[in-house]
Amino acid sequence: METVQTYIKANQKRFLDELIEFLRIPSISADTKYQGDVLKAATWLSTELKRIGMDGVEIIPTKGHPVVFAEKKVSEHVPTILVYGHYDVQPVDPLNLWNSPPFEPVVKDEKIWARGSCDDKGQVYMHVKALEAMIAEGQLTCNVKVIFEGEEEVGSVNLGDFLEANKKKLSADVVLVSDTSIIANDVPSITTGLRGLSYVEVEVTGPNKDLHSGVYGGAVANPCNVLCTMIAGMHDENRHITIPGFYEDVDVVPDAERRMMNMAPFNEEDYKQALNVNALLGEKGYTTLERTSIRPTLDVNGIWGGYIGEGAKTVLPSKAFAKISMRLVPHQDSDKITELFSNYFKSVAPPYVQVKVTALHGGQPAVTPTDTIEYKAASAAMKKSFGKEPLPQRSGGSIPIVALFESILGIKTVLLGFGLDSDDIHSPNEHFGLFNFYKGIATIPYYYMFYAEMNKK
């Protein structure tokens, strides 16, 4: 194992240069304009997997963007790890807020700045480089299979079918994913809970064409105003979501667990200052840490309608739109919530408009137990590399595939991520600490080591 760590140290500079090359590919899955670039990223990754000595490297087509597969079998007597990650990235707008172009990576202040640097190309590449080191030094202690998909940022829409069609090929003992955060560089943590997601787009139509607001204003319902009223009505004065049945399946977290959760290092003043807000807003009766982990939410991710160009246009628009997402907690069901939302939105639509709801994507919430070999190996690996035992932590984000792996492949997932919440993933100026990138590469081989050892016992 010493030789693996020595190999990693000796090659750090090259690893970073390669990651920069990978980050230059604008693999935005949400926008069809970038379809060729998404494929280019898959091809780049598969070439790299071949180069480091992985076997059976394939770019497997789906109905959307392909999955990159590779494997390396060392023995029938050691467990098999299925590594999952995604090589697609979020869109980049608002582009004008980036300090440097999102696909021209810059290393500055001990961080690498680029779209995808943390989410998830940087974290994917930690696995590739850890595998390279283990293979090069003859220290791969587990069998390994990797699948890197290109549709995580659009809801992994074809991954379910892919898993169904490749159950045997993907058989493994654990899924290892690095697409989450640690609490701080000196407070390692392992994500044990993820929120699910229901993401919809709504369209409100008033008159059949844009009207002159002077001629018609005051007599004809304005769909922008109507949409605002409908959205405003989705929360009550306690910031509870008003959709009937929304909280029905929400897991009530025991007080003891809530107390534990609130012991994590958190300073509300620092948090507000970092975001430059004078006050926070959230569901009554819960702390910020609880609001972002064990409670469901509803947010407008985008809204538009009418004239949004320069200057003034006195239009009473025909249509208004919003993208709305709900973060879900165990045991809410994504499909059920989408349906509840849709029924609710239609039921509260006033007679002077017509509404349409389109489900964009969804994912199930998940919680992982901490008393398994899989979790314990991760904890031991982090303790070894960070010199500190990691805290179990529920995250507010969603990785819908965790529920898929369990339901289709019957395999539990370990979320061994190395990002920070402050990495601005999904935002302008996404970045990833060099500390985190290298610490990830260093930790992963320990996971293989401990997981193999614990399986022997």
Write the interaction track for a copy of itself spanning residues 347-386; mark x where CB under 8 A is met and - where it is not.
Answer: ---xxxx------xx-------------------------
Handedness of CA 410, 416, 420, 424 (dihedral sign): negative
3-class DSSP assignment, residue 160: helix
**In terms of CB distance, is 186 or 299 closer to a copy of itself?**
299
Identify residues 158-177 at the interface with a copy of itself (CB under 8 A): none
Of these, 12, 421, 454, 455, which contacts a copy of itself (CB under 8 A)?
421
CA 82 to chain centroid, in Å, comes to 18
Of these, 76, 77, 168, 218, which contacts a copy of itself (CB under 8 A)?
218
Selection from 338, 261, 334 nearest residue 294 by Cα: 261
Identify residues 7-66 at the interface with a copy of itself (CB under 8 A): 29-32
Smallest gap, in angstroms, from Cβ of residue 345 to a copy of itself?
14
Which stretch in 132-140, 346-354, 385-393, 442-450 sits in contact with a copy of itself by CB under 8 A? 346-354
| 212 lies in the binding site for a copy of itself (CB under 8 A) | yes
| 282 lies in the binding site for a copy of itself (CB under 8 A) | yes
Selection from 443, 424, 420, 442 nearest residue 433 by Cα: 420
Identify residues 75-104 at the interface with a copy of itself (CB under 8 A): 90-91, 93-94, 97
Identify residues 227-246 at the interface with a copy of itself (CB under 8 A): 227-229, 231-235
Catalogue the long-range contacts made by 52-58 (C-beta closer than 8 Å, 24 or more residues apart): 52/128, 52/131, 52/132, 52/135, 52/136, 53/132, 53/135, 53/136, 54/131, 54/135, 54/146
As a whole number of angstroms, the distance between CA 251 and CA 295 comes to 9
Please give the single-letter amino acid code of residue 335: D
As a whole number of angstroms, the distance between CA 85 and CA 192 comes to 17
User: By the 8 A CB rule, do 66 and 72 touch?
Assistant: no
Smallest gap, in angstroms, from Cβ of residue 241 to a copy of itself?
10
User: By the 8 A CB rule, do 279 and 272 touch?
Assistant: yes
Write the interaction track for a copy of itself spanning residues 305-344; mark x where CB under 8 A is met and - where it is not.
Answer: xxxxxxxxxxxxx--xxxx-x-x-----------------
| 275 lies in the binding site for a copy of itself (CB under 8 A) | yes
Of these, 13, 76, 276, 387, which contacts a copy of itself (CB under 8 A)?
276
Identify residues 184-203 at the interface with a copy of itself (CB under 8 A): 195, 197, 199, 201
Smallest gap, in angstroms, from Cβ of residue 87 to a copy of itself?
17
Q: Where are the extended beta strands (E) located within 98-152?
A: 106-108, 111-113, 143-149
| 138 lies in the binding site for a copy of itself (CB under 8 A) | no
Handedness of CA 100, 129, 146, 433 (dihedral sign): negative
Of these, 5, 288, 343, 372, which contacts a copy of itself (CB under 8 A)?
288
Smallest gap, in angstroms, from Cβ of residue 142 to a copy of itself?
30
**In terms of CB distance, is 221 or 367 closer to a copy of itself?**
221
**In terms of CB distance, is 167 or 212 closer to a copy of itself?**
212
Handedness of CA 288, 292, 294, 298 (dihedral sign): positive
Q: What tokens appear for 335 in the block?
A: 């499909």
Of these, 59, 107, 135, 303, which contacts a copy of itself (CB under 8 A)?
303
Which stretch in 39-47, 59-67, 73-81, 283-291 sits in contact with a copy of itself by CB under 8 A? 283-291
3-class DSSP assignment, residue 377: helix
| 209 lies in the binding site for a copy of itself (CB under 8 A) | yes
| 252 lies in the binding site for a copy of itself (CB under 8 A) | no
Task: Go through 148-165 and write b for each residue having 16 or more CB atoms within 10 A of its CB, e for each that does not.
Answer: bbbbbbbbbbbbeebbee
As a whole number of angstroms, the distance between CA 398 and CA 391 comes to 19
CB neighbour list of residue 281: distance below 8 Å, 6 or more residues apart: 239
| 278 lies in the binding site for a copy of itself (CB under 8 A) | yes
